[in-house]
Amino acid sequence: MNDRSERDVGARRIINQLAYRYEGLFDSDRIDDLFHDSYNRIAETARVTVFLPTLAEKLTVQRLDALAQAEGKTIKRVPEVLFVCVGNAGRSQMAAALTRHHAGTHLHIRTGGSDPRDAIHPEVVQAMAELGLSLDEEFPKPLTNEVLAAADVVITMGCGDSCPILPGKRYEDWPIDDPADQPVEQVRAIRDEVDRRVQALLAELIPAGA
């Protein structure tokens, strides 16, 4: 079996598993389309192709969950916050990790990039690890219509006009420097600024005493 055949078999296995997981919500053709679209989007920037099926599966799950919420097929139990920057490799990943840390189960967090990078910046990974927050399971993801439609609050950071605007959403733009290729001291300062803004946002979104 050649490499392409192995990839096709692997992709079909993932799609079948997702079809079982989302039975009654989405048909297999729709899941197939989303998976291959996710695969192709990630492949545009990926450096290590061996992980592509796994990353495409993760992105497809995110998109299917968001789509189910946006279409009213599943109940949204907590508000949805979406953090967006250009590469989804620095600021938005910091904000998401800090929000999950502070908010726990009171919010659901997603991220996306208008032009995703191939990997999270190592200096960002280091700065977050200093707080005990791991980004090992995260990866830069493209901003998709499903994720945007499911969001209640959209926080943009530096993506300007490339970030699409949907009516009925709460938007905030955080003017925060890009940590890419910055010295670690500057990355820490950016991280701390993101943290201050995250905590101010949570004070608005989460009822006192929750």
Residues 103 and 202 grouped into a single domain: yes
Residue pLDDT, tens place only, 41-84: 998 877 656 688 999 999 999 999 999 999 999 988 899 999 99
Residues 32 and 66 grouped into a single domain: yes
Beta strands in the chain (DSSP E): 80-85, 108-113, 153-157, 170-173
pTM of the model: 0.90
Q: Which regions in the chain score pLDDT beneath 50? A: 1-2
Q: Count of domains in the chain? A: 2
Which residue among 42, 57, 75 closes a domain? 75
The predicted pLDDT at position 48 comes to 57
Strand order in the sheet with 170-173: 108-113, 80-85, 153-157, 170-173
CA 133/CA 193 separation, integer angstroms? 16
Residues 139 and 191 grouped into a single domain: yes
Q: How far is CA 178 from CA 34, 86, 121, 123, in A?
A: 30, 9, 10, 11
Residues 80 and 70 grouped into a single domain: no
CB neighbourhood size of 114 (10 A): 19
Whether 52 and 39 have beta carbons less than 8 Å apart is answered as yes
Which residue among 75, 102, 129 closes a domain? 75
The distance of Cα 80 from the centroid of its chain, to the nearest Å, equals: 12
Residues 191 and 93 grouped into a single domain: yes
Count the helix, strand and coil residues of the chain and give each as a percent rounded to the nearest 5: 55, 10, 35
The predicted pLDDT at position 4 comes to 60
Residue pLDDT, tens place only, 23-42: 999 999 999 999 999 999 99
CA 36/CA 81 separation, integer angstroms? 26
The predicted pLDDT at position 44 comes to 86
CA 24/CA 21 separation, integer angstroms? 9
Residues 6+ apart with CB under 8 A from 128: 93, 94, 97, 134, 135, 191
Residues 119 and 53 grouped into a single domain: no
The predicted pLDDT at position 6 comes to 59
Which residue among 9, 40, 75 closes a domain? 75
Residues 199 and 146 grouped into a single domain: yes
Residues 91 and 125 grouped into a single domain: yes
Q: Which CATH number covers residue 195?
A: 3.40.50.2300
CA 63/CA 134 separation, integer angstroms? 23
Residues 80 and 129 grouped into a single domain: yes
Residues 103 and 192 grouped into a single domain: yes
> What residue numbers bound the domain in which 140 lies?
76-210
Residues 94 and 193 grouped into a single domain: yes
The predicted pLDDT at position 159 comes to 78
CA 136/CA 51 separation, integer angstroms? 14
Residues 15 and 111 grouped into a single domain: no
Q: Which CATH number covers residue 70?
A: 1.10.8.1060
Residue at 51: amino acid letter: F
